[in-house]
Chain A
Amino acid sequence: MITQFLLKGADRRITIMLAVLLALAVLVPASNLLLSPENPLHVPTYAMSLFGKYLCYALLALALDLVWGYCGILSLGHGAFFALGGYAMGMYLMRQIGPRGVYGDPILPDFMVFLNWKELPWFWHGFDMFWFAMLMVLLVPGLLAFVFGWFAFRSRVNGVYLSIITQAMTYALLLAFFRNDMGFGGNNGLTDFKDILGFSVQADGTRAALFAATAFFLALCLLIASAIVSSKFGKVLVGVRDAESRVRFLGYRVEHVKLFTFVVSAMMAGIAGALFVPQVGIINPGEFAPGNSIEVVIWTAVGGRGTLIGPIIGAVAVAFGKSMFTSAFPEVWLFALGGLFVAVTLFLPKGIVGTISGYVSARKAIKASKDAEAGVDVDKPIQPAE
């Protein structure tokens, strides 16, 4: 039943994107590991890790699209869920360092020894186990989203007010995680990772596996998201976005609809964060910065909100552009990003994917009306309106 549910949502565009992602998951690691560096098709490790990072961003943008594009909740704090997932993974990686840290303490991570802590804080227990850490990757962002959403949606906080409090949420977490006594390494965050599941995080093989895992999880989340939006629940979601009071007067509990979507989306963002951290080798409070969350909104808008594949394309394209741009003209990047957002809002309000599919369906409509005029293929006789 679950597979049927998942596959039902995959239309042609989604299927193509899934195929691309799964092909990337196999081909890129294979080319990195199997081909010699002289081969023109060889993908160097740094490029693979960089692209893996973009795919994490793409997953984060996909998560945002689910709540913003379909449910109309403009979250300006999705970076917080991403960072929390990242911290959960980071805590696991810290515990894996064991006695190999600078201070050589078998249990305590270096920053705790440095702060002169004598024992592990309670919330660090269990993170030495991979399954527990992975559970937390889902549960911590999910729980935060649940509690936050429970209060916000019940009180019918909407529109710009909701956006502002999501922004405040991520900012509050930023300030909290900066503090040393929070127990998450203060402004240095968590870094110096050694192993993941017993494999060195620096090794090419591990990096290839992480890339493959990222592409795989992005494909999986895309499949889940497309199943959600194409179900009747997805139609309710769009209803909430377009005419919330109508949904309510039809007898749906709008707050439950929003809460479910928000929690699922936060968990996806958490997975993205967890895959991001071992590939970049660090997680620090900077990931909570409000600017990051706003960047996610820009990726989604550029790619086309409410399309699922648009945000994936937008995130990869803009993040790639950022890497190029910041190495060439580092000072002007923020202006370029702002300009991009203004340009997209003015000229491509549906984003790249939305504009292309709008163009394609307009062409089809024109062709259909020409055919109808020529008397070809009039499939349904149109009854005169009463």
Chain B
Amino acid sequence: MSEARPRSLLYLDNVSVSFDGFKALNALSLVIEPGELRAIIGPNGAGKTTMMDIITGKTRPDEGEVFFEDTVDLTKKDEADIARLGIGRKFQKPTVFESHTVWDNLELALNRKRGVFSTLFYRLTAEDKARIEEILSTVRLSHRRDELAGSLSHGQKQWLEIGMLLAQEPKLLLVDEPVAGMTDAETVETAILLKEIAKTRSVVVVEHDMGFIRDLGVKVTCLAEGSVLAEGSIDYVSNDPKVIENYLGR
């Protein structure tokens, strides 16, 4: 851990991982500051999802350091620990509990004690109820609270999953392709929602949709072949010849 490094929320240094000889990440370094909204772009196979797997403890890096809030070594923790530390993750494919109602999905996601016996004897308090109501209105699902999550439209599932992440009260949100399969109107709404969320916490968004990233108007990191190709504003990155060659030009 270096002394000169500024205080960061998430710090990846020189992270490499390979699967059967294929280098999914190759000396990747990335710093996310508290309160930052960051977009990550890159061609398929650039290592975007693998990076998220490493941050959330699903995959262990072969080498390199991953620190959360400067002190917590994430490579030593598993998924549940990392989630409890305050890192929430949205998957590429919307993953909600389809046979539970929208309300139950949020209740499960609430940042409460998660042990076997605390959940066995859990009772919904007024405070928790209010919190769920609040999230329901944030993600605009109040009118569908009693419906099964499986009956929601694709876009609504994406929003429910974002709502579940909010319920977790994470310090860092990792969002993998939030607008895939959404209509243009939904995409615009999602950008507004994410900017709203980023006011109180850090958000990392992986996305292919350049229009959406332009809407976000934030710092962009372009990954290719497992390492950072370029970093900066959207205009800077999209004019970078390496980015055009590797990603945009294709």
Check B107–A235 contact: CB distance below 8 A: yes
- List residues of A (337-356) whose CB comes within 8 Å of B's CBs: none
**Do residues B108 and A232 form an inter-chain contact, with CB atoms below 8 A?**
yes
Q: 1/0 contact trace for A231-245 toward B, CB 8 Å?
A: 111011011001101
Residue interface mask B109-130, A partner, CB < 8 A = 1: 1010011100111100000000
- Asked if residues A235 and B108 are in contact (CB atoms below 8 Å), the reply is yes
Q: Is the CB of B108 within 8 A of A250?
A: yes
Question: A254 on the interface (CB 8 Å rule)?
Answer: yes
Indicate with 1 or 0, residue by residue over A361-385, a CB within 8 angstroms of chain B CB atoms. 0000000000000000000111101
User: A155: shortest Cβ distance to chain B, in Å?
Assistant: 13
Bound CA span A382–B146, Å: 12
Question: What is the CB-to-nearest-CB distance from B23 to chain A, in angstroms, rounded to a whole number?
Answer: 24
- How far is B111's CA from A252's CA once the two chains are assembled, in angstroms? 10
> Are B107 and A232 in contact, CB atoms less than 8 angstroms apart?
yes
Distance of A228 Cα from B122 Cα, bound (Å): 11
A40 interfacial by beta-carbon distance below 8 Å: no
B243 interface residue (CB < 8 Å to A): no
Q: How far is the CB of A354 from chain B (nearest CB, A)?
A: 12
User: Nearest chain B CB to A5's CB is how many angstroms away?
Assistant: 6
Given contacts A239-B97, A246-B96, contact A256 B79 (CB under 8 A): no
Interface-located stretch among B12-20, B59-67, B82-90: B82-90
- Given A5-B121, A232-B119: A248 touches B189 (CB 8 Å cut-off): no
Is B104 located at the chain interface by the 8 A CB criterion? yes
Shortest CB–CB separation between residue A61 and chain B, in angstroms?
21
Which single member of A233, A253, A254, A380 contacts B143 (CB below 8 Å)? A380
Query: B residues 66-115 with Cβ under 8 Å of A?
Result: 79-80, 83-84, 88-89, 91, 95-100, 104, 107-109, 111, 114-115
* In the complex, chain A residues whose CB is within 8 Å of the CB of B131: none
Contact-size category for B: 35 or more
A232 touches B122 (CB 8 A): yes
Say which residue of A245, A250, A381, A383 sits within 8 Å of B164 (CB atoms). Answer: A250
Interface residue? A249 (CB, 8 A): yes
Pair B95/A239 contact, Cβ less than 8 Å: no
> Is B119 a contact partner of A236 (Cβ separation < 8 A)?
yes
Determine chain A's interface SS by DSSP, over half rule.
helix
- Determine if B214 is an interface residue (Cβ-Cβ < 8 Å): no
In the bound complex, what is the Cα–Cα distance between A52 and B210 (angstroms)? 68
User: In the assembly, what is the distance between CA of A380 and CA of B79, in Å?
Assistant: 39
Q: Is the CB of A249 within 8 A of B121?
A: no
> Which residues from B are CB-within-8-Å of A198?
none
A245 and B122 contacting across the interface, CB-CB below 8 Å: no
Question: Contact: B100 with A252, CB < 8 Å?
Answer: no
Q: Is B238 an interface residue (CB 8 A)?
A: no
B143 engages A243 (CB within 8 Å): no
> Contacts A238-B99, A243-B95, A249-B89 hold; do A231 and B119 have CB atoms under 8 A apart?
yes
- Residues of A within 8 Å of B142, CB to CB, are 383
Q: Is B185 positioned at the interface, with any CB of A under 8 Å from its CB?
A: yes
- How distant is A107 from chain B, measured CB to nearest CB, in Å? 42
B99 touches A242 (CB 8 A): yes
Contact of A382 with B143 at beta-carbon distance under 8 Å, contacts A243-B97, A257-B116 already known: yes
The residue in A233, A245, A246, A381 that gathers the most chain B C-beta atoms within 10 A of its C-beta is A246
Whether A260 sits at the interface, judged by CB under 8 Å, is: yes
Assess whether A251 is in contact with B80, with CB atoms less than 8 Å apart.
yes
In the complex, the answer to whether B96 meets A248 with C-beta atoms within 8 Å is no
0 or 1 for each of A305-340: is its CB under 8 Å from B? (1 = yes): 000000000000000000000000000000000000
Cβ 8 A contact of B83, one of A1, A249, A381: A249
Whole-angstrom distance between the alpha carbons of A235 and B99 in the complex? 10
Contacts of A242 in B (CB 8 A): 97-99
> A5-B121, A232-B107, A233-B122 are known contacts; what are 14 more A-B pairs with Cβ within 8 Å?
A5-B120, A228-B120, A232-B119, A233-B120, A238-B100, A245-B58, A245-B79, A247-B108, A249-B79, A249-B89, A251-B83, A252-B119, A382-B143, A385-B153
Q: Jot down 27 A-B pairs with beta carbons below 8 A, ordered by A.
A: A5-B121, A231-B119, A231-B120, A233-B122, A235-B107, A236-B119, A239-B97, A239-B100, A242-B98, A242-B99, A243-B95, A245-B79, A245-B95, A246-B97, A248-B80, A250-B108, A250-B114, A251-B111, A256-B115, A257-B116, A260-B116, A383-B142, A385-B153, A386-B140, A386-B185, A386-B186, A386-B189
